[in-house]
Every structure is written in structure tokens, then in C-alpha cells.
Copies of this chain bind each other. A is one copy, B any other.
Amino acid sequence: MIETDGGGGGGGEGSGLEMTPETMRRLGYRVVDALVERWSGLREDRAWSGGSRAELEPLLREDPPASGRDAEEVIERALDEVLSRAGRIDHPRFFAFIPSSPTWPSVLADFLAAGFNVFQGTWLESAGPSQVELVVLEWFRRWLDLPEAAGGLLTSGGSAANLVALVAARERAEGSGRPAVYLSDEGHTSLERAARIAGVETEGIRTVGTDARFRLEPGSLDEKLRADRASGWRPLAVCASAGATNTGAVDPLCEVARVCRDHGVWFHVDAAYGGFAVLTDRGRSALEGIGLADSVTLDPHKWLFQPYEAGCVLLRDPRGLDEAFRVLPEYLQDTELGLQEVNFANRGVQLSRSFRALKIWMSVQTFGLSAFREAVGRGIDLALTAEERIRSSASLELLSPASLGIVCFRYRPRGEDRDEDSLEELNVRVQARINEDGFAMMSSTRLAGRYSLRLCILNYRSRRDDVLATLERVEAVGAELAGG
């Protein structure tokens, strides 16, 4: 069923994995059409779709077929049976977790990177792509106000970026004692996991208290570092959030930087989704001090509108990466070129790496930076719009104000005196109903013990109407379920 090229000019040696240019083109166009159709209909589509394993296994579990199947049918099956059964993270009303809404040139860039199969591990194997990665990293460095010598690499995401930063910090940490890292109780779990991977015991993950706005308290940090040093801990790094996942809270970066300097401890900022807020004036002011960090994590696949996967870590002194990660086995001896020719495989966890910089480069070139600024600003605006709407509602209660793109709230029936358990039970049902309807997708969290609904608005497609209609739906569904 597959039209192979029968070996072309090579004497009948054609492989069964080849296709004719005509077939390739036809299948390629089919995929383009399918994606354009999906994107054009996204707003009218459900924000979420899924299925249990019991439903999906009979449909999809099978041995690999011995002989091939029609390539177009395989594509249709992927579309109908697999890709349709997933959350639409880029839907304009997908407000759950941390959404991601890539641009079309970014998606085409991922297609190009796969089609050229770039090996972005060494300069020898990918000179042009490595240069583009340097260019993109330089953009980020300047956006964050890091010193000129700063540098880093793109990663699979924030988790790998946090891991790279913590390992580099560990290698630089002086003294002896049991290793410890510091983060607020709102810090991202990927930091905790990275610390565990890097050999920090559970007890060495030291939690620092937050204030009423969920921001790390520099005073508590200072005390904890002092006490811990005295009792034999070896602080590897302090991890501040520039955009906590729960609430969007930004830790007081300047003050945390000062405490770190006083104690001679590595200052890491996890700005995975929040970092790109620096493209706007409001975000820049909220993230003041980020340029003082020893390392910063960014996730272009979050608020820079790139498809999965694209994370980034930047270090004030990137030599720390080489010290921690450099490898040069004999089978890579050819890849040692000049000092200027960066081998990105020496800077992190991965040796084989795909060309992640291309999507950032192509999308910023195509739309221009001002369109990105405007799109990030839109998220900040819409979160404020949601906050206002919640404040003015008789049946919605604000649990944490808009910060960057996030607002937390709950449904609370007017004039009723419900206890916390009853409110939680009601809000769980409200959330489930809205998600199952498919109109919008929200996630929940827990703030100071209280079950909270949470909107995270980072999508360039989201409009005022999307936000307002979703809140209206919460009120309506809440009233219906509370009355029942």
C-alpha cells in the first residue's frame, strides 16, 4: 500500500521505509489541512475531551502490524481516535493549569526541525542552528537584564531547566554538611523533584513561609539560612518564584537577592511561565530584581506562545554549566572546535537535542516583538478583568487577586452560611460540570487550606468575552447546583 521508490537509481535496493515525493507531498498537505481546520474551529470546539483507560485500551491496544497500512488512514486514525481525545491546551477558554498556545510559524518551525532532523548537540553537527540558539538566548538575557556574560541553553522545559540550575549551584556550593535548597511553600514541585534527583534528601528541601499574598518572606529566609548553617546544613540554592503556579505571586526578588548575597548562597529564580511578563511595563516592574539572579528558568512553551517543548535556563556565569555537565568521550573528539563554537550538549542533561530555538526565532521574526508584548499584556489585562468581575459578583468570592495571568476564586452562594466542607463539595461539582460541558476548562487548587477555582489566562486567542462568559457560567451552574 506504500509507494516506495523501488530503489530509485540504486539497483533495486530501495528501503521499505521510503516514500515517493508525490506521496510525501500529498500526506504533508493532508496534515496541513487537518491542522488548519483544527485551528480555525478551535473556538467552537470543546475545551476538553478525554476518556478512561478502560474506554481507550480496547480501541488502541494492539500489536504492531507486520505489514503496512494505508498512510492516509493512519493519519485519519491519529486524528479521530487519538488527538481528538485530549485537552485543548490552546483553546481560548482553556484556563486550567498553565495553558500553552503556540503560533503557526512556531508549529511550522517544529515541522522543519523534525524534517531536517537537526542534531543540536554540537557545533560541528549544527552550526547554523547553534548560532540561532545563541541569538535567542541573547534576546532572553537582555529581556531579563542579566549581565552580558550570562548564557545558558534551551531545555525540554522548566523541570529540566530547574534541574540544570540546581546541579550547577550544587557544584559551586562551598563547605560541607548536608545539602539543602530553599523555596517557599508556593514554589514549584519541579524544584523539589530536581533537588531530589540531585541527591538532596527530603529533609533538605527547606520550606520558607509566605505572606498574605503568598510571597516568600525574606526575613524568614534569612533566619532559616542562619539557623540551618549553624546546625550543619549546606545551603545549595534559594529558589524564588517569579510567577507561582497557584496564584501568580512573585516573590520579592530584590530582597531575596540581598539575603542570598549576605549568606553567599546561589539565587535561582523560577520564572517558568512568569518570566516573559518582563516584555510589558507592568510585568517588568513586578519582576524587578530578576536580573540579580545566579540562574533563571524560563518556559517559552508557556507565555512565549511556543508549542511543547521549549524551556530555558540562563546562568549569570555560564561556565558553571560546563563545569557541571561537560563530557568529551573519544567518539566525540571531532566535535572540539574553537572556544567560540558552543557545544550545547556540554551545558545540560541531553546529548542528542532537537532544534528548539528555531520556533522562537521564526515566530518572533514573523510577528515582531511588539505583537508578543501585546499578547502578554492581554493576559495580564484579562486576569484583571476576571478579578473585577469576581469582586462585583454577589456569588463569587475572590481568593487571590490577579497576578500575572492568574486569579483564584470560588462560588459562594449569596446569603447562605456554608461551612468550608460544603463550599468545597459545591465547587468541586461546579468545576466538574463546566469542564465536562467542554465550554471552558478550569483547574482547582488549595489556598490556605481552602478549595479554590483557578483561572490562568495566557492564551493570545482569549478575549474578554471568553473570560466573562466562563465566570457567568460558574455563577449559573453554581446557582443550579446550590439550589438542588
Contact = CB atoms under 8 A, between A and B. Distances in A.
Given A17-B371, A349-B197, A365-B69, A112 B78 contact: yes
Given A29-B32, A307-B354, A331-B443, A104 B156 contact: no
Contact of A349 (B16, B36, B163): B163
A102 B86 contact: no
A460 interface: yes
Interface string A344-388: 000001111110001001111111111110110010000000000
A287 B150 CA distance: 45
Contacts of A175: none
A118 B82 CA distance: 11
24 contacts: A24-B104, A25-B32, A27-B105, A28-B36, A51-B131, A54-B340, A64-B368, A68-B365, A85-B128, A86-B129, A89-B125, A107-B111, A110-B110, A115-B307, A157-B352, A163-B349, A170-B199, A188-B329, A190-B327, A190-B351, A198-B199, A331-B454, A333-B446, A334-B431
Contacts of A476: none
Given A24-B104, A50-B124, A90-B117, A68 B338 contact: no
Sorted nearest first, the 8 A-B pairs with minimum C-beta distance are A199-B199, A85-B128, A28-B32, A16-B371, A35-B115, A110-B114, A67-B368, A308-B354
Contacts of A255: none
Interface residues of A, number: 173
Contacts of A311: 352
Given A193-B327, A352-B158, A461 B308 contact: no
A62 B24 CA distance: 35
Interface stretch (A132-140, A225-233, A256-264, A392-400): A132-140
B82 A358 contact: yes
Contact of A330 (B124, B192, B445): B445
A130 B315 CA distance: 34
Contact of A309 (B354, B364, B445): B354
A100 interface: yes
B157 A351 contact: yes
- Specify which of A106, A128, A342 lies most central, judged by the most chain B CB atoms within 10 Å of its CB: A128
A125 B83 CA distance: 11
B372 A17 contact: yes
B308 A123 contact: no
A44 to B, nearest CB: 10
A29 B62 CA distance: 33
Given A17-B103, A27-B104, A196-B324, 16 more contacts: A16-B368, A35-B111, A56-B128, A59-B131, A61-B135, A61-B138, A68-B367, A82-B131, A83-B128, A86-B129, A89-B119, A100-B117, A101-B117, A198-B199, A308-B354, A331-B443
Nearest to A138: B61
B163 A197 contact: yes
A15 interface: yes
Interface string A121-162: 001111111011011001100000000000000001111100
A84 B385 CA distance: 47
A419 to B, nearest CB: 20
A96 B127 CA distance: 16
- Specify which of A11, A115, A120, A170 lies most central, judged by the most chain B CB atoms within 10 Å of its CB: A115
Contact of A198 (B36, B78, B197, B465): B197
A97 B352 CA distance: 11
Given A86-B118, A117-B102, A354-B309, A78 B329 contact: no
A19 B104 contact: yes
A107 B115 contact: yes
A65 interface: yes
A176 interface: no
A32 B365 CA distance: 20
Interface in A217-259: 245-246
Contacts of A24: 32, 35-36, 39, 104
A340 B39 contact: no
A331 B452 CA distance: 10
Contacts of A102: 114, 117
Contacts of A67: 368, 370-371
Nearest to A65: B368
Contacts of A156: 156, 160, 309, 349-350, 352-353
